[in-house]
Structure formats: C-alpha cells, structure tokens
C-alpha cells in the first residue's frame, strides 16, 4: 500500500483527516502505526464513495442503498473515533 507523500496523503488517510480535522497530527501517526486503523480508514473511504455514488443515482430515482451507506458511514466514524480515543489513552 502506498502511503502517499507528506503533501498528498493516500485517499484512505485523506478521508480520515477530513472526518476528524481536530486530530490531524495524531491520525497521521496512528495511520502509520496501526494496521487495524488503516483498514478502518479504507473501509470508511469506500463507504463514503459508495454513499456519494448512490446519492447521485438517487437524484434520478430514490435508492434504498443511500440509507444503508449513511448508516455504514456513521458506524465507521464511531469505530474510528473509538480507535482514536483508545490510542490517545495509550499515548
């Protein structure tokens, strides 16, 4: 997995940074150090992309997938927030 440069983070990291801008420096360190957090970031990015895709399609016809992806995004945000707080407690 390419981690990206310091100025252009990989898409998974960029999604996490956008979701939790108050924890930017800590998220960068956690992303490098914790495989489970990297995996959660990837899942989050993919869920956000799915939500955006189905959201565009819903403009034409209501899509039940939109609610599913909204729920998934919220659940992943909660999981990532929990991982951030747990790691902060260990730091």
pLDDT class for 9, splitting at 50, 70, 90? low
Q: Kindly state the tokens that stand for 41.
A: 């970031």
Residue 31 pLDDT greater than 60, yes or no: yes
Nearest to 78 by CA among 24, 19, 23, 33: 19
pLDDT (tens digit, 9 = 90+) per residue, 72-90? Answer: 999 999 999 999 999 988 8
Distance CA 89, CA 53 (A): 36
Distance CA 70, CA 74 (A): 6
pLDDT (tens digit, 9 = 90+) per residue, 33-65? Answer: 999 999 999 999 999 999 999 888 877 788 888
Distance CA 14, CA 67 (A): 24
Q: Give the angle subtended at the CA of 59 by the CAs of 62 and 44, to the nearest 5°.
A: 85
């Amino acid at each position: 997995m390419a981690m990206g440069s310091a100025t252009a983070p990989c898409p998974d990291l960029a999604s996490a940074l956008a979701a939790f801008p108050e924890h930017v420096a800590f998220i960068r360190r956690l992303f490098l150090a914790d495989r489970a957090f990297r995996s959660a970031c990837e899942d989050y990015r993919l869920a956000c992309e799915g939500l955006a895709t189905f959201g565009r399609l819903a403009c034409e016809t209501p899509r039940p997938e939109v609610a599913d992806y909204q729920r998934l995004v919220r659940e992943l945000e909660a999981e990532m927030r929990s991982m951030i707080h747990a790691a902060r407690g260990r730091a």
